[in-house]
Amino acid sequence: LEACLNIEVRWVEGCEEWVKAKKMVKEASYCKALDKLECLLVAWMFKMTRLNVSGTGYKMHKHIGQSLKNHSKSIQNAITAYNEAAATLSLPCQKITWDEIIDFSYLLEFNILHDTHEDVHERKWAKPQNQLLMSRFFKYIRAEEEIAWVHVEVKRLLTHMVDEEDEVCGRAKEVEAEDPALALQLRLYWKERAQYNSLHRSCLFAITKLALIMQTATTGQLEPMLRISRMAGGSI
């Protein structure tokens, strides 16, 4: 091995080459422990996100919950390995605990992940102020998309409430002569629904009063908004 590596003088403990190699081994062990912890954290966050997705069935919830339980044990073992590797460095890195991990929601909050094989601390995107700026920028971009969807959803919800009123009240009138009991139940049903719809209309009317919403509203979207203003505060 020494011949293959062209080592003329055998290394002994304490020599310069020995110290450099020992440092490299410690750093490699640290990076390996960090990479494993990072992979586990990414997988854990994806599973947490899947657990909170609407439409996930009971069996899937149970399966993901059991998987998260097993995954948590793996993360705890990885944390222990990471702390042990971090303690051996010449400049020991911060230790982490399981309690700190479970409080984090985004990978951005894991500052230890900056310590990869390549030092990225001096990169522009690694600066806290730049991270905050990027986060706010993308939130602003997403907010513009949400504003466009607000107009669509406001119109859909209002249209649904108006159509439901016409449908239920119309059916009640149709069956009143033949089945007064059914007509009464339909009116009682609508009386309860109208109370909730009144609250919805108040919220929708408040949305149309927002300056940004009014500025981006198009002519085709004004009709349901005007209908809201006429119907808000009144009972059907």
| Residue 150 CB neighbours (<10 A) | 19
What is the pLDDT, as a whole number, of residue 211?
58
What is the pLDDT, as a whole number, of residue 128?
79
What is the pLDDT, as a whole number, of residue 67?
79
What is the pLDDT, as a whole number, of residue 212?
61
CB 110 within 8 A of CB 35: no
Q: How far apart are CA 84 and CA 191, in angstroms?
A: 66
Q: How far apart are CA 7 and CA 36, in angstroms?
A: 33
CB 119 within 8 A of CB 113: no
What is the pLDDT, as a whole number, of residue 113?
54
Q: What is the pLDDT along the chain (236 residues), one digit of tens a residue?
A: 677 877 777 777 878 888 888 888 888 888 888 888 888 887 877 777 777 666 677 777 777 777 777 888 888 888 888 888 888 887 767 778 877 776 665 555 555 555 555 556 667 777 778 888 888 898 888 888 888 888 788 888 888 888 888 888 888 898 988 898 998 998 999 888 888 888 888 888 888 777 565 543 333 444 444 444 444 444 43
* Domain locations in the chain as residue ranges: 16-121, 138-231
Q: Angle at the Cα of 115 (from 112 to 120), degrees rounded to 5?
A: 120
- Helix or strand holding residue 46 (H, E): helix 16-51
